[in-house]
Amino acid sequence: MTKQTAIVSGAGKGIGKAIAERLAADGFFVYIVDLDIEGELVAGQLGKDNATFYQADISDESQVLALFQAVLAQHRALDVLVNNAGIIRDHMIWNMTTADFDAVIRVNLKGAWLMCREAAKIMKTQQSGRIVNIASRAWLGNRGQTNYSASKAGLIGLTRSLALELGKYHVCVNAVAPGLIDTPLTQRLKPEILEQLLQAQPTKTIGAPEDVAHAVAFLASAKTNFITGQTIYVDGGKSIGAGI
Ligand code: NAD
């Protein structure tokens, strides 16, 4: 294989699918990692020379170890890891169960950490690589998302610390923080809630998965070798915070 290799978690649909499609278009061979078998369709559409599907739960340590073994068995290097898989279990804290908290932290934070650890071992040795973590504007705070917001704040802390650890090995680690993006996750929102969220946007628009993929492709590129530990917002300006 002469192509560069990328792993994208949660690439069976939504933002992850758009990232996988974009990286494949940019010439990467992409591992579409997802719990859901839907990822097979995405890989099929991209073609066997450009992508493959790997079914795994990224919050399960043994499945993550097996994934990286499988990648290394086929490819000599890992160039890009995109930690995109994420879930929500929204409730006001007084209605949130411990299971809601644990599930979100387990996938969004522990899962990304497990993936980062295995990628870091490879990228440190090869002295190159890019890791992009998909956080969320909600890390700044969102009612009903104490679990999710904390998981994404943790992911940004992880990103910054890992950038410090891997900097001298020429590995860049950054985060992308999307705002309101049109995916199966947000398509489940009640129309009146979606309308309220749109009105709170400086742009009054919802983003497309491709908007996030564009920022990820930039950070995944070998040209961005002096950008690390940063968070790029793709949120129509919501993070500016002065909306009324
Ligand atoms: P989505 O629900 O549409 O897709 C997420 C994918 O991740 C699904 O295919 C799912 O099967 C997979 N997944 C979930 N848990 C997994 C696990 N344990 N192991 C492997 N795969 C798993 O979500 P989306 O809207 O595309 O969101 C993608 C990422 O972007 C998430 O991290 C989310 O928190 C973040 N985000 C989304 C929005 C938005 O408005 N959609 C905003 C900010 C941040």
CATH number at residue 235: 3.40.50.720
CB 140 within 8 A of CB 241: yes
Please say if 54 is a catalytic residue: no
Please indicate, yes or no, whether the overall pTM of this predicted structure exceeds 0.85: yes
Paired with 175 in beta bridges are: 133, 231
Environment class of 15 (CB within 10 Å of its CB; exposed 0-12, middle 13-18, buried 19+): buried
Catalytic residue among 54, 148, 169, 233: 148
Q: Say whether 180 sits in a helix, a strand or coil.
A: coil
The domain tally of the chain equals: 1
User: Which atom belonging to ligand 1 lies closest to the Cα atom of 108?
Assistant: 32
Cβ-based neighbour number of residue 75 at 10 Å: 16
- Separation of CA 107 and ligand 1 centre (Å): 10
> Which range marks the domain in which residue 157 is found?
5-240
pLDDT in tens, the chain (244 residues): 589 999 999 999 999 999 999 999 999 999 999 999 999 999 999 999 999 999 999 999 999 999 999 999 999 899 999 999 999 999 999 999 999 999 999 999 999 999 999 999 999 999 999 999 999 999 999 999 999 999 999 999 999 999 999 999 999 999 999 999 999 989 998 999 999 999 999 999 999 999 999 999 999 999 999 999 999 999 999 999 866 5
Euclidean distance between CA atoms 61 and 118, whole angstroms: 10
CB 236 within 8 A of CB 180: yes
Query: Residue whose CA is closest, atom 32 of ligand 1?
Result: 86
Euclidean distance between CA atoms 99 and 105, whole angstroms: 10
**CA 176 to centroid of chain Cα atoms:** 8
- C-beta of 36 in contact with ligand 1 (< 6 A): yes
- Separation of CA 84 and ligand 1 centre (Å): 6
- C-beta of 52 in contact with ligand 1 (< 6 A): no
